[in-house]
Structure 1
Amino acid sequence: MMAVNLPFLFCIAAVTANAVRRGIVAGLVAAVLSLTGTILIAEPNNSLVNPRSVALVSLFCIIVSVGGESMKRLRRREQHSAINARRRERILQIIFDGSPAVMLIIDSASHIVDANEAACSLFEQARDAFMGERLEHLVPTHAIKTNALHTIILPSGKLLRLDIRNTSLLIGTDSFRMVYIRDETKAVLSTERLAMAQRELYQISRATALGQLGSSIAHELNQPLTIIANYAGVARAVLAAEKPDLVAARCAIEDTLAHAFRAATMLKRLRNFVGRKPPILLQVDVRTLLEEAAKLGALATKGVRAELQIDLSHADFEVSADAIQLQQVILNLVINAADALRGYDDRRIRLQACRDATGDAVFAVENSGPGLPPKLRHDVFAPFQSTKTDGVGIGLALCRTIIEAHGGRIWCDDDTELGGARFLITLPHTAIGGKTHATRTPHLHHR
């Protein structure tokens, strides 16, 4: 067998070596040259070097050359893949090291196998110090299983508040975990400072509320005290007459006591109001409420010689409200309307109530005065805003707070035929009950 192939041995070796190293072109060139040399060197009467043998060897050389080309391409692809893999590894390492997020890689035994620069900076350690260290020596092991913030203290005494998460990481056949750590220390400190600032602001607001309470008490008590003084003066005048009318004096004294008790009730309601207690809601007859408010407001309107008109044609229903607070709001609006009429020839005030199309209770107090200045139209209910020279700007702000505590709304406009300002109050229909349950369209006067 060796004797048969011996003339072509150099040819096959040359072709195989060149094809494996340099591919199909080198293999074919080696085949042509080696076959040509073999034919020229062989003896003329050598029966082994014949056309059939040369054809078989040529076919074998072509196959070897094609195989060599395939091996060359596979080696080139492998080299390219290896270069890409090293490049990706280098990029991933750069990303891992340069990421601002703190990242640790741990193995299945919870040993740290790698840490990025952010971890070194956070924990104030060199990278070599992390290698092989168990994770529980760095952070609590239960911290990985919860979403709560965890507190650790570094050897330097620095306190850290950390949010720790992890995810599985499979590299080849080895299982690892990537641990992500977010430093929430600054955020927690900022939250605590904000909470402290809010507590301080709350204390300041409470102090301001107390100041407003003092002004509110002075403002609200001025009305019943004025009434009490008037009734006491009437009683004294009656008793000072030559023939005292004891019945009239008794009525004046009873009215004085009634308003004294009303002032005490008002003080109690103001205290509950500042203490954020809800209003005491009872079913109140609107007609009676307006009549009593008109009776109390008559003193203010007489003082400026104004006409107080009260429209009770659509007031036959009840509303769920704190009678003292709601009556005080209406009385306050009537007194403000009377004050606005000073110095005007036309001095009319109209007080009315009805239900609107949705069933809400609507109260309106309007006057024939100058109306509100445009710049105060939207700020008239803000604290310390007043059109009076001696006003403190507390009354309307208190009125708005009382109405809003009832779930209602108070606002003002100039849509009145009297020509001045109109203040409107609505209380929701869910708080309305009473004698007539049919929904009515409001019959407020409009220009």
Structure 2
Amino acid sequence: MELRPLPKKWLFALLWWSLALLLTLIWSRLEHARLKEAFDKDTRHIYSMVSRKLDQNEAVVAAIEAQITSRRSLDIDALQRFSHELLLRYPGLYTIEFYQYVERGDLGEFTAAMRARYGTSFAVREEDPSRRRSWRASGDYPDYLPVAMVEPRTPKTIPLLGMDSWREPIIAASIRQAIKYDRTQASPQFERYPGERGYLLLRPVLASGSGQPQRLLGVVALSVNFSLLLQPLILDRQALGLSLLNPRQPASHPLAELFGSPAEPHPQSWQELLFGQEAVLPLPSEAQPFMLRLSRAPHWEELHWGTLLFQQLVVALLCLSLLLIYRQRSTLQQSRAAADEALFEQRERALVTLQSIREGVLTLGVDRRIELANPMAMQMLKWDGQLVGRPFAECVHLRYELSDSVAVSVVERCLDGGVPIELPENTQLLLPSGELLAIDGAVAPLFSRQGQISGAVFVFRDLTPMQRRARHAMEQSELRAREHIEKLAHVTRLHTMGEMASGIAHELNQPLTAIANYCQASISLLDEIEPPIAPVRSALEATQQQALRAADILRNLRAFVSKRPVSTGLVDLNQVVANCLQLAEFDLRASEIDITLQLDSRPLPVRVDPIQLEQVMLNLLSNALDAMRENTAERKLLIASRLVDGEVRLHIEDNGSGVPAHMLDMLFHPFHSTKPHGMGLGLSICQTIIEQFRGQIGVENIPGGGARSWLRLRQASEPGPIMSRRQGQES
């Protein structure tokens, strides 16, 4: 592929940029040298002035010390006047202070003298550590170093009087060091007032007598404000930056820069990067060991732009002339390159599309030979070898399912007629392995620029996976239909059983009623015999009672299967438990069950059908007996009832084998049973009975073995006598 001649076009731009950059570098070097010379001159001047000011500060402190030691006794008034004259002579100073040394025994005399001078509000004070910028009365100490004089006396400086310097956390260490070595000492930087940063220049005043050791009179403190000290020295705020550094602190420390006046513009500007100057010089003062840093970021107006612009204009005109000559020669080549690029992009898109689609594509020439085959076509044909260049009829074998005649090739029909041909629905592709694939597709003709047929495109896709999915879906649908039919048949059988149970209950109810009537007649006849036969009467009464109960059970069974309304009444749950234990007495005794009753001593009234509740109770007892049949140890059964928050609760616990964990969630589902031959309807029916009385029923395993069946019913609150089982039967 021919490359576009764009690199030659940019050669002129590269030439112009190179010449412009070279001239800019030369100009920058000359400007840098010129600005550096001016910066060095300013640096020497500023350094000399700052050094002179620091020496001036030390001279002022020495002069004040000499003035104090020259007198026989300490004269605060004379010291005040002398300090006032020094401040008038040196306006850059901030304040002059004197800290007088006072021992504990002289504190009262000192305070009285100071109050006579400054007023009764004077007191020796120290900083309150619990409150910032707050003072409190000084404590009891061996000695003090309070401020006895401050000049000038202004509303800002008067509050300093009486401050105990020994207890000032910032300057106390510097004062002790100055006294220890008898030298001038600079304190750390501090901010006495908001926006006023400075330091104290401290000098001890020692008095010496004949034959006596030196005695401390106090400390002279010269308060230096950085703004007053250095601000007048800045020559040009637009270009020169001046900073005073503390060499005792690392550069990253907040107190490393004592005073700063950054140069403008911002240090990150291009003037700073190209023409910025910086010098860091140590100052000669031992008492004030600072370092002076000067920086310069020149303003753009200070640079000589005229020379640079003239040079750049000459270079730009030269390169522009050469570019215009070149463009006339390269216009035709650019147009040709653009056409080639568009053609390449179109072919690339077509090739990527053919390789990405999920259909097989074969491009044929007029000689019926394959000229192009995409990867999907090669995968579907499973041809061992090269497809391109081979005849279409040799590589692609089409068959038509259930066809009774020889079909004409779709490729021949397309090339002869010049129209697209779709494959029939029964088209199959015969693979070299003998496998048949169901396919779908079409053949479309290709035309040349003159309108003649130049070939054809054969597009096809495999329908086998789609047919397989459809077949699987149909099989699944048939399976679901069969399962639904089986469920319907099962429901039909259950309905039939319900109808049979209803009929049987109706038929058996008549002989049972007759038996009860005959027993009643026999009892009436026995009443007329003298003497009465008591055992026979008891047997007949028991027979009549059981016949009536069997009739009630059949009547309720018929009502249950026929979905008739159930009659309810007020029933004592404890009485229902006693009735069921009496009915199941034979089975309990035969199974050797040890029964423990923990029934509530109060009646537990619930509104239910007593027969249906007995049916539920007997079902739960039967399940407990079945669970303990294989228990060779002692078989125990616990039945407990109680009233909790208006709810009647009944628990039946056994020590049998328990319920398998996987069956706990399905016990009340129809046709799910833990018994080998159970139908799985007992607990489902019990749940239906309890829920129709707005109650709850459940089964859970007991830790250590066994299971617990429980049911909960609402306590009946209606007044009236509780219905016995016999009353429920009669109703």
Please indicate the TM-score interval, normalised by the length of the shorter structure. Answer: 0.3 to 0.5
TM-score, normalisation: structure 1? 0.45
Question: Of Structure 1 and Structure 2, which has the larger fraction of its residues in strand?
Answer: 2
Structure in which a larger fraction of residues adopt helix: 1
Greater relative contact order structure (CA < 8 Å, 6+ sep): 1
Q: TM-score, normalised by structure 2?
A: 0.30
